């Protein structure tokens, strides 16, 4: 598939690395095409570099790997995404009195809000449930890690599921986009374990039987 990754930080970079050599055509959407780091990433991931709107225009799957606080304006600047599959990896989190917390939920979610910004696009919430490192490479784990998806379009989830499989995950369909209400708290469980409770970042959820 033609995949445009908007945001080339921890998550965007890890997804690009995880997709290297898997038969996809990856374009990194970056604001500064001359930056040394993004150029190095493009080389490592065997990806093309473009401005964010150009990367989105040419893509079948547009991956949003942006900080939640800038997402609405950044998504609006991408142009018309009608008909495209949009992967929302973002966790709407910020610091509150009790540390990191969800900024939206539990009666709505970031995934539903992104879908409301893009009514003509097919949004799939996923890749928000583990740390970026697990997206770049998870083959050393004892079990195949699971990655849930939430979205209203079955065909979109089929395509994204294949992308997740290519990245080493067991892709599981959680249900419609409203199920993002459960997947975003799950992302926070991972963050809390990794960063607050001392488990570190080298682990993921698995669905074993
Ligand atoms: N880090 C994790 O392990 C992890 C795991 C799962 C989900 N997430 C979620 O994934 C999202 C990204 O996290 P991250 O850790 O990758 O963040 P990050 O390292 O800070 O990267 C954010 C990227 O967004 C770009 N960006 C910022 N404003 C932009 C705009 N207006 N237009 C286009 N690009 C813009 C930045 O570009 P510049 O370099 O030009 O500033 C940067 O490449 C967050 O919502 C986070 O909750 C993170």
Please, what is the average pLDDT of the chain? 97
pLDDT digit string (tens) for 154-164? 999 999 999 99
In a domain, 206, yes or no: no
pLDDT at 86: 99
pLDDT at 99: 87
C-beta 16 within 6 A of ligand 1: no
Q: Three-state DSSP class for 96?
A: strand
In a domain, 131, yes or no: yes
pLDDT at 97: 85
Q: For residue 93, how far is its CA from the centre of ligand 1 (angstroms)?
A: 12
C-beta 199 within 6 A of ligand 1: no
C-beta 168 within 6 A of ligand 1: no
Strands (E), the chain: 2-6, 25-29, 48-50, 61-64, 85-88, 93-96, 99-102, 122-125, 146-151, 170-175
pLDDT at 41: 98
CATH of the domain at 93: 3.40.50.720
In a domain, 118, yes or no: yes
User: Mean pLDDT, to the nearest integer, of 134-144?
Assistant: 98
The total of structural domains in the chain comes to 1
In a domain, 135, yes or no: yes
Q: Which pairing describes strands 93-96 and 99-102: parallel, antiparallel, or unpaired?
A: antiparallel
Can you give the pTM of this predicted structure?
0.98
* CA pair distance 110, 78, nearest whole angstrom: 18
pLDDT digit string (tens) for 87-101? 999 999 999 888 899
pLDDT digit string (tens) for 44-94? 999 999 999 999 999 999 999 999 999 999 999 999 999 999 999 999 999
* CA pair distance 41, 50, nearest whole angstrom: 13
* CA pair distance 49, 35, nearest whole angstrom: 11
In a domain, 147, yes or no: yes
In a domain, 204, yes or no: no
- In ligand 1, the atom with minimum distance to the C-alpha of 12 is 16
Assess contact for 96 and 187: CB atoms under 8 A: no
* CA pair distance 64, 72, nearest whole angstrom: 11
- Listed residue (113, 169, 124, 115) closest to 149, CA to CA: 124
Q: For residue 172, how far is its CA from the centre of ligand 1 (angstroms)?
A: 24
Which domain range does residue 106 map to?
A: 2-196
In a domain, 149, yes or no: yes
In a domain, 16, yes or no: yes
C-beta 53 within 6 A of ligand 1: no
Assess contact for 55 and 32: CB atoms under 8 A: no
C-beta 4 within 6 A of ligand 1: no
C-beta 176 within 6 A of ligand 1: no
């Amino acid at each position: 598939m033609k995949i445009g990754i908007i945001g080339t930080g921890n998550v965007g970079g890890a997804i690009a690395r995880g997709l290297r050599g898997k038969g996809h055509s990856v374009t990194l959407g970056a604001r500064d095409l001359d930056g040394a780091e993004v150029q190095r990433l493009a080389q490592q991931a065997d990806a093309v570099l473009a401005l964010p709107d150009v990367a989105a225009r040419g893509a079948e799957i547009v991956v949003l790997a942006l900080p939640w606080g800038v997402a609405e304006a950044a998504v609006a600047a991408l142009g018309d995404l009608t008909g495209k599959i949009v992967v929302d990896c973002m966790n709407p989190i910020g610091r509150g009195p009790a540390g990191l917390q969800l900024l939206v939920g539990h009666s709505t979610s970031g995934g539903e809000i992104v879908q409301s910004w893009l009514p003509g696009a097919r949004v799939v919430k996923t890749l928000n449930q583990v740390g970026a490192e697990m997206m770049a490479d998870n083959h050393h784990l004892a079990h195949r890690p699971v990655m849930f998806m939430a979205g209203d379009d079955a065909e979109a989830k089929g395509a994204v599921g294949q992308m997740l499989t290519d990245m080493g995950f067991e892709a599981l369909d959680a249900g419609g986009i409203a199920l993002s209400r459960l997947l975003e708290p799950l992302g926070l469980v991972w963050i809390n374990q990794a960063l607050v409770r001392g488990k570190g970042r080298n682990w993921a959820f698995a669905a074993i039987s």
